[in-house]
Structure 1
Amino acid sequence: MTFEPTLDFARQLDAQDPLRDFRQQFLIPPAPNGDDSLYFCGNSLGLQPRTARAAAEQQFRNWEQLAVEGHFKGETPWMHFHKRLEEASARVVGAKPVEVVVMNNLTTNLHLLLISFYQPTATRYKVLMEGGAFPSDQYALETQVRMRGLDPDDAIVELVPRPGEHTLRTEDILAKIAELGDSLCTILMGGINYYTGQVYDMAAITEAGHAVGAMVGFDLAHAAGNIPLHLHDWDVDFACWCSYKYLNSGPGGVSGAFVHERFADRPDLVRLAGWWGYDDKERFQMKKGFRPMRGAAGWQLSNGAILTLAVHEAALAIHEAAGGMEALRRKSELLTGYLEFLITRLSLPKSRLEIITPQDPAQRGCQLSLLVHQGGRDLFEHLMGVGVIGDWREPNVIRLAPVPLYNTFEDVYRVGQVLAGWAHQAE
């Protein structure tokens, strides 16, 4: 598409947008002037669906009227609530329902999965991850390695871009996997790097990892609900994701976990067990000896946090009604491309501002990371002051995420105008 830097053009795209009405299903915080803010921070926290409050209220009523019997009675018995989310969650990540479970929070799930899928030996103990991964992943791996009596400086191998580059080349990732060979136990990478917004080639990484005998998993915090995923077909071993970014399920919202179907009937796998992961046909017999449920559900520990599960169900319903990831992806590529076009038109030197997110739409989701070499914090404060809500990442990156469910092309145009005004004033 040939973009134009005009308000009329942006409004024309909005008029043609088949997803335009979904914006009305979200609550948009006000800007300082009282208008709707230009909310470009869905990569950190998605907006509140209008249906979220009613979904939670329904469970409050069930608690009020049924008390403990709410586990077994009512329209949404709590004992099996997680099963209500399996099919929609599976579609988000390209999985079979048996391969997914919604539970806990993201880093809790990451630890639970690493217990099973990082099983080092004397010779195969290395872990591969991207350098500068989100701190939770770094800390999780560090402590998982230490609890096995290993030295993180030896066991953890970090991938870094080539000198002068901001993102990783796929060929360099694959070359490192081959180099580590039979010393490589587990690969854990983000599906999308939180800082640069780069999408990794998860299919190629998984194939290369399996070729050397390693387990392969992904933290999909910035990928789930953002880009199409095909975890089952890619043969990924394990993955987890949060629900409060592109899935709009509330701050600290419940997490999802994926375990490939080939592990569905593997009760022998090392894991941390809890009552709620026990075979639900016999769970209330309270027997000794853990017998896991089939599939990913066997990694559950405790009964679900129903209020957050209910909000997540409401948010997933909007995602489903929008047509799922294929429909959202089409708009996402246009929104992000339009924002890139408007920023590029500023013709700012790289010594002042550069986009470090890949230019290739296939290598990015709905996020652009702006590396601001001069006055970055001042620019961020200026954006916030006029109602453009993005986020700041040290030392000098501003992340802007045009989310297809609720951002419009006019939103993008207006952000471009604010940036143009800043660029002009600083000349």
Structure 2
Amino acid sequence: MNISNQNSLSGLLSSEWEELIIEKKVDFFNNNLERLEKIKIQIKFTQDHQIIYYKDGAILRVEYFHSRKNPDIFNNMEQIQNLSWQGQYNQKKKKDGKWIAFWDGNILKDVFGYYKNGQKQGLWKYLFKNYRKKDQIFETGEYLNDFRIGKWNYLYNNENIGGGLYNFKGEKIGNWIVLDEGFFYFAQVTYHGEYNMKGVKVGKWDISYCDCGQNKYKIIGGGSYGQEQIKIGRWVELLEGFNRDFLITYNGVYNMKGMKIGRWDICYKQYDEHEDGNEEAEYELMQILQNYCGGGSYDQGVGDIKIGRWVELLKGFNRDAQVTYNGEYNFKGMKIGRWDIWLDWEGNRQIIGGSYRYEEDQIKIGKWVELDEKFYWNNPVTYNGEYNMKGMKIGTWVTMDVREGYEYTRKEIKYDS
């Protein structure tokens, strides 16, 4: 059984110990770009009670589990490679008593909790989902019968930076400051708002960001939730991967069904290490994120369908690789016609790639210049070649370095015509 992109195992694991393989995206810290990225790994549950983590056929970790009910699954590569919890099992093979956290074989000071017959009980100091050695973030509070209850806090650098209350069902209620799942030193992002008594976000929520080392959070975005936690009205959101080198917001309107409509702008701010950070924190978006760098329109009637001309950002867009894709969508939300790839580099703007697509099937055709999937300032690599009318690569494709403007390798890949 092979399940793709599962973040929750609820309902997938049976008591019959059948073999199961899932594919999961986990956080990986790219040290070169100083940002979090998602990579795919596989997790295998075997009939002999093993959980095996592996990537591209290489085993990352093997551990044993005694119960298939809600096993703890890691979401972070460093945790997969370094984190373990150690404690005792009772005669029913359920966790019991005090359990202690270890990192790379060493005890993590004061990081522990208690089980009673397999259920978390009492006071816990838990590792945040994105805990890394260089970003030691903890959650502290109390469990009752495996549910979080009462006051829980987020601790970062031994300081309380957020948290709120849980009810006896383990649901967040009342006023909360929630950390972004990708929270780390260069991306200190929090969300501030209210949960109703059913654990659902309601009303206005603010998004705040703290520049590295300044210890002051500025409101840079947010919006309002309607019924059933649906975003409505005007929102300022952070693009995936937001960090010091990727200070980018997505600004526009949701209709009453929670669908994007009308014009949405993408705004970018160049990081300035000399900013003093003394401005008042009251929706500073227009002051600190002024530089328009892209966007386009969504269908006003249907919603969530891109139409007309758009400027979109490279997934790895940052101050050292300001790359955008420029082209048009038809009324079905399909890319059509010519799409150009632009690069802004040290004040110079130039087309470095792109070409044409079919209207109906969004298939690449003709001559193309494509970017390497890890394109950035010290890897400005493009691949130049041609697609046939079926969207298949043909002929010779050559690798180029756009920064220097020359072919730095004659290694050619030839495809069948």
TM range (shorter): under 0.3
TM-score (norm 1): 0.21
Report the structure, 1 or 2, having the larger strand content.
2
User: Larger radius of gyration, structure 1 or 2?
Assistant: 2
- RCO higher in 1 or 2 (8 Å CA, sep ≥ 6)? 1
TM-score (norm 2): 0.21
